[in-house]
Amino acid sequence: MTALRAAALAALCAVAAAAAPRAGPPSALWRIDPEASSIAFEYVANGRPGVGRLRRFEGSGVFDPARPQDTTLRMSFDMRSLDLGDPLRTMFAAGPDWFDVRAHPRATFELDRLDPIDPAAQGPIAPGMSRDYMARGRLTVKGRTRALAAPATLELDSRGARARGRATFDPRIFGVGEGPSAAFVSIGPEVAVIYDVRAAPAPTQEQPQ
């Protein structure tokens, strides 16, 4: 190979490497991008289905594409941003018998681990790949913490990481729907949270040394 061909090949390799999507440095601190993410939920009240959203939330964690199963994440949800699409319903849901947002303005989720749903799919995840996991962690609502497991699809692309899925739980285990008003409004035994969350590596100055 002539020196000219070697130089040309090296230049092509450099261009290809620069153009390839990056997943961020190993074991890096990543932050949720709320503007590119959404959290909605479905519920049934007095036999009628409804849909709501949480408008404000944040989160960060440590993610290594070589060991996605070791991902850590802590998310915080501003329960005062609860929106049921109707002012009266929203005000009712924020009350003391329901989410009691005055006394408990925040809910949290802490991820403990990601278990591959397909055992054969263990190992690193690279840009352009998508894998299904069972996300296992702890959800805290109204000061009560309960274990939560939910399927999650994790993807990497040129923008960073994306996690999406649907988590279901009985709101009554958190004391939601207890009290005098429950005599007039009954909530179904299952609430589904539909999440689509994007994250990217935090700025260099925020990364652990």
Domains present along the chain, CATH in parentheses: 24-206 (2.40.128.110)
> What does the block give as tokens for 143?
């000061």
pLDDT of residue 27: 62
> d(Cα 36, Cα 34) in Å, to the nearest integer?
5
Poorest-pLDDT segment among 2-6, 86-90, 145-149, 176-180: 2-6
The radius of gyration computed from the CA coordinates of the chain, to the nearest angstrom, equals 21
Is-contact 144 121, C-beta < 8 A?
no
* Comparison of pLDDT for 140 and 125, the residue scoring more: 140
Burial of 152 (0-12, 13-18, 19+ CB in 10 A): buried
* Comparison of pLDDT for 183 and 208, the residue scoring more: 183
Nearest Cα residue to 83 out of 69, 74, 94, 72: 94
Q: Above 60 in pLDDT, residue 100?
A: yes
% the chain with pLDDT above 70: 86
- What mean pLDDT is predicted for residues 79-102? 93
> Which tens digit of pLDDT belongs to each residue from 171-188?
999 999 888 887 888 888
pLDDT band at 209; cut points 50, 70, 90: low
pLDDT of residue 15: 34
Q: Is the pTM of this model over 0.85?
A: no
Average pLDDT, the chain: 86
Q: Above 50 in pLDDT, residue 24?
A: no
Q: Above 80 in pLDDT, residue 49?
A: yes
Q: Above 60 in pLDDT, residue 156?
A: yes
Say how many CA atoms lie within 13 Å of 169 toward its Cβ: 21
pLDDT of residue 147: 97
Q: Please enumerate in sequence order all residues whose Cβ is within 8 A of that of 65, keeping only pairs 6 or more positions apart, or say none.
A: 23, 24, 26, 124, 125, 126, 156
List, in sequence order, every residue forming a beta bridge with 114; answer none if it has no partner: 135
> d(Cα 139, Cα 116) in Å, to the nearest integer?
20
Poorest-pLDDT segment among 14-18, 124-128, 145-149, 204-208: 14-18
- What mean pLDDT is predicted for residues 57-71? 92
Nearest Cα residue to 108 out of 157, 58, 63: 58
* Comparison of pLDDT for 8 and 30, the residue scoring more: 30
The single-letter code of the amino acid at 101 is: V
